[in-house]
Amino acid sequence: MHKETELKLRASRETLAALREHPLLKKRNKSGWQTRELLNQYFDTPERELSAARVALRLRRDGEAIIQTLKCRGQSVAGLSERNEYEWQLDKVKLDLKKLDATCWPAQLANLDKKTIKPLFTTDFSREYAEIAWGRGKGKVVIEAALDQGFVIAGKRKEEICELELELREGEPQALLELAAELAASLPLMPCDISKAERGYRLLEPDSYELGLPHAELEAETAVDDAYAALAWQLLGSSQRLAEQYRHNGHWRLLQDWVECLSELRALTASLGQAAPRATTRDLRSSLDALLEDWRPLVQAGNDDEDIRRAAPEQFAEELEDVRWGLFSLETSRWLLARAWTVERKGRGERQGKAQLASWLAHLLGEEGRALKLPLYTQRPEDLAEQLPRIEQLLAWLHHARQVLEAPQMDRLYGDLKKLHELAEQPISDEVLEARVDQARVVDQSRGWKHLLKA
């Protein structure tokens, strides 16, 4: 068994061709490009019990070699994935169920009748691969770069495989992101943690691809730095999965959720105060602002215009053909991995970053709530949109961390504040202005809001 650490990047055929000749890879290529054909058959039970347990089981023909592989539950964050992998060389193209014993087989599948495991789909592709190596600090990095082209085939359905896969053989995981970011600076590469197996299942069951990542497990005692890191990783990873699925099927709700993920990441980052000095977050905020400047107005307009919704998938495809999205994703992953907001932080910022989430959050929400001055907007509802950044910061934290607060009716407050945010985004009309006044009063008079303002 070994741990597989890899990064998958969706690409076009033109980008793969450019990667073969990329100066950075040429300089570090220690083996030259080699080619092999990989024919893969994936297996599961009719009830998809292996998939439910996050297990992938396949037979691979690699030249004359026949390899049985079991990949078990691991973690995947923002495209960078780690999984435990078991491999066995076989004499014939037939599953050897005896290999799937307690030394590798997940405990949750202990009672599974392995005889019910059947072929499900294939992923056949050509792989050009090379050993990429260089010195990094006092250490060495070795990465296998693979250019994969082929198809996932499930019955009569198929999807193209066209991706760069970087697998770490020696060195630190940060090196994968560094190399990918350097390549993505000039070529459109989209971090994408959907495996070839997941693509096969998606062809069989379109809704099987999980869009969200597990919620960050935040406690009252969680340090602010840890809470922010967990939420930022979750939002970045979710935005990548939403982008992948919207690219795949063009469902409007996915684009709405993608913009919301970016908006929440922007709001959380802006809320950290001295725990994240502005100089350390400048590049991230600028990148998010550029994306949101283009896509948030489009989504707002598209909510009421079917023609905009119909045209949006093509516009999104153009976004992915540019370097902006991939480079943003990779640079943000690097920034989060290095916890760059904590670098050269002053004493007060250091204390805030290490503060317990519940006490820090109660103070933040109270401070921002008082600054919002809701009674003012019952008199001047036309100016409420000016407070959208502040409302978004309040909403982002209430969305993800209200459970750590010892305060009444936080769920209701979150819902009421979300309605106020929606009204603040709508074009002004007599009806909207009246609704803003009413909703501002609802929030201002709520028990949860009054409790926060006293904090």
- The predicted pLDDT at position 77 comes to 54
CB-CB contact of 194 with 241 (8 Å): yes
Q: Is residue 206 pLDDT above 90, yes or no?
A: no
The better pLDDT of the pair 400, 52 is held by 400
pLDDT value at residue 344 = 84
User: What is the chain's mean pLDDT, rounded?
Assistant: 94
Checking if the pLDDT of 385 tops 70, the result is yes
Please, what's the b/e burial string for 359-390 (b: 16 or more CB within 10 A of its CB; e: otherwise)?
A: ebbbebbbebbeebebeebeeebeebbebeeb
Here the tokens at position 160 are 């193209």
**pLDDT at residue 322 in the model:** 97
Which range (27-41, 75-89, 332-346, 359-373) has the least confidence? 75-89
Q: What mean pLDDT is predicted for residues 275-293? A: 97
CATH assignment of 1-209, given 1.10.287.980, 2.40.320.10, 2.80.10.50, 3.40.50.1980?
Answer: 2.40.320.10
Burial (0-12, 13-18, 19+ Cβ within 10 Å), 291: buried
Q: What pLDDT, on a 0 to 100 scale, did the predictor assign at position 72?
A: 83
Q: Tokens in use for 425?
A: 């985004």
The arithmetic mean of pLDDT across residues 236-254, rounded, is 94
| Domain definitions of the chain by residue range | 1-209, 212-345, 356-453
Q: Predicted confidence band at 79 (pLDDT cuts at 50, 70, 90)?
A: low
- Assign residue 318 a region (left: φ > 0; alpha: ψ between -120 and 50; beta: otherwise): alpha
At 237 the pLDDT is 92
Q: Is the pLDDT of residue 252 over 70?
A: yes
pLDDT at 78 over 80: no
Cα–Cα distance list, 442 to 226, 384, 412, 434, 448 (Å): 33, 15, 11, 13, 11
pLDDT at 66: 96
pLDDT at 193 (0 to 100): 79
- If you search the block for the tokens 């297990």, which residue do you land on? 55
> What pLDDT digit, counting tens, does each position of 160-188 carry?
999 999 999 999 989 999 999 999 999 99
Does residue 76 carry a pLDDT above 60? no
| Residue 67 and residue 88 in contact, taking contact as beta carbons nearer than 8 Å | yes
User: Is the predicted pLDDT of residue 119 greater than 90, yes or no?
Assistant: yes
Band of residue 352 on the pLDDT scale cut at 50, 70, 90:
very high
Q: Of 73-87, 204-218, 289-303, where does mean pLDDT reach its minimum?
A: 73-87
What letter does residue 50 receive in the DSSP assignment?
H
Q: Which residue has the higher pLDDT, 64 or 291?
A: 291
Whether 202 has a pLDDT exceeding 60, the answer reads yes
pLDDT of residue 214: 77
The band of 81, judged by pLDDT with boundaries at 50, 70 and 90, is low
Answer yes or no: is pLDDT of 210 > 80: no
Q: Is the pTM of this model over 0.85?
A: yes
Helix or strand holding residue 264 (H, E): helix 252-270
Per-residue pLDDT at 302 exceeds 70: yes
- 214 Cβ contact partners less than 8 Å away, ≥ 6 residues apart: 234
